[in-house]
Structure 1
Amino acid sequence: MSIHMENVGIAVRDLDEAITFFTDLGLSVLGTDEVQGEWAETAVGLDGNHARIALLGTPDGSGQLELFEYLHPAALETAPTRPHEIGMHRVAFRVDDLDAALEIAARHGCHPVRGVATYEDVYRLTYLRGPSGILVMLAQDLRGA
């Protein structure tokens, strides 16, 4: 059996805001849709499932995010996951210029949770809260890779 990572799905409170944030960081919109019906209810396991979705991809094609905003049932607000809690932890991106990425994030009101760290002269990295409280890791490879 072979296995391939298809995407990471993240529910957001405002799809347009999340699309703008991630496209400003460099991802591109691969497609958008509105899904509902019996197939969606069966696949997700949620009666009345009706959502707006957007599939975003990285420029090199290595990863995809599926963002979805629930129209029905109403989305439930939860506290954002903290780094040590069980569950969806974070989405991570390698960037070629961390300072430029942080400037883009700041224009969206998103700032490092604590600061920028350097890991063994290999990475400069930070966690920040993106739209809908999504925990986003941005890392710059200091080895020039």
Structure 2
Amino acid sequence: MPIRFENVAIAVRDLEATIAFFTDLGLEEIGRDTVSGEWTDTAVGLDGNHAKIAMLQTPGGDGRLELFEYIHPDAIETEPTRPNEIGMHRVAFSVDDLDEALAIAARHGCEPLRGVARYGDVYKLTYVRGPSGIIVMLAQDLRRS
């Protein structure tokens, strides 16, 4: 059976701030909607499901990120995940210039969890705590520099 990756979806507390963060990093917004009704109740498994959504993609469209902010039911605040917790871990992006990406993240109040690391002569990378506590890995391929 052929299979194709579609997207990763993340619930956020502030859709506009999260869109701004990811578009400043270089993702493109490709659509927005507000969804509700029986079909969303069935698909998501929540009665009265009502959310604002935005779809972002990497340049070229090979990766998509769906962001959604709940209108109903109320969003449930949780502690941000830690890198070693079971479940959704992080979303990762390759960047041409890690220092530039970190400067953009900093303008959104987002800093590395610990610092910048090197994976041999292959990658310079870091985990950043993004909007709504999302862990975002940013990696620069040193072989392309």
TM-score (norm 2): 0.99
- The letter of the residue matching 1:42 is T
Q: Percent identity?
A: 73
Equivalent residue for 1:109?
109
Offset, 1:22: 0.2
For structure 1, list consecutive stretches of 5 or more residues without a partner in the other structure.
none
Displacement after TM superposition at 1:60 (Å): 2.3
Cross-structure match for 1:123: 123
AA matched with 1:55: M
Task: Map 1:9-24 onto structure 2 (within 5 A).
Answer: 9-24=9-24
Offset at residue 72 of structure 1 (A)? 0.1
Q: Give the CA deviation at 1:62.
A: 1.2
Query: What is the total number of aligned residue pairs between the two structures?
Result: 145
* Superimposed CA distance per residue, residues 63-107 of structure 1 (whole angstroms, 9 cap, x where no aligned partner): 000000000000000011100000100000000000000000000
User: Which whole-Å CA distance do the structure 2 matches of 1:10 and 1:52 have between them?
Assistant: 12
TM-score after normalising by structure 1? 0.99
Report whether the alignment pairs 1:100 with 2:100.
yes
Counterpart in 2 of 1:135? 135
Structure-1 separation of matches of 2:98 and 2:72:
37
SS of the residue corresponding to residue 69 of structure 1 reads: strand
Partner of 2:102, secondary structure, is helix
The RMSD of aligned alpha carbons is: 0.7
Unaligned runs of 5+ in 2: none
Deviation above 3 Å: which 4+ runs of structure 1? none
Alignment partners' CA distance in 2, 1:119 and 1:131: 26
Q: Give, in whole Å, the separation in 2 of the partners of 1:20 and 1:89.
A: 22
Residue by residue, what CA displacement relative to the aligned partner does 1:2-35 show, whole Å, maximum 9, x if unpaired? 1000000000000000000000000010000000
2:69 aligned with 1:54, yes or no? no
Following TM superposition, by how much is the alpha carbon of 1:120 offset from its aligned partner in structure 2, in angstroms? 1.1
Matched residue of 1:75: which SS? coil
Cα distance in 2 for residues equivalent to 1:60 and 1:142: 21
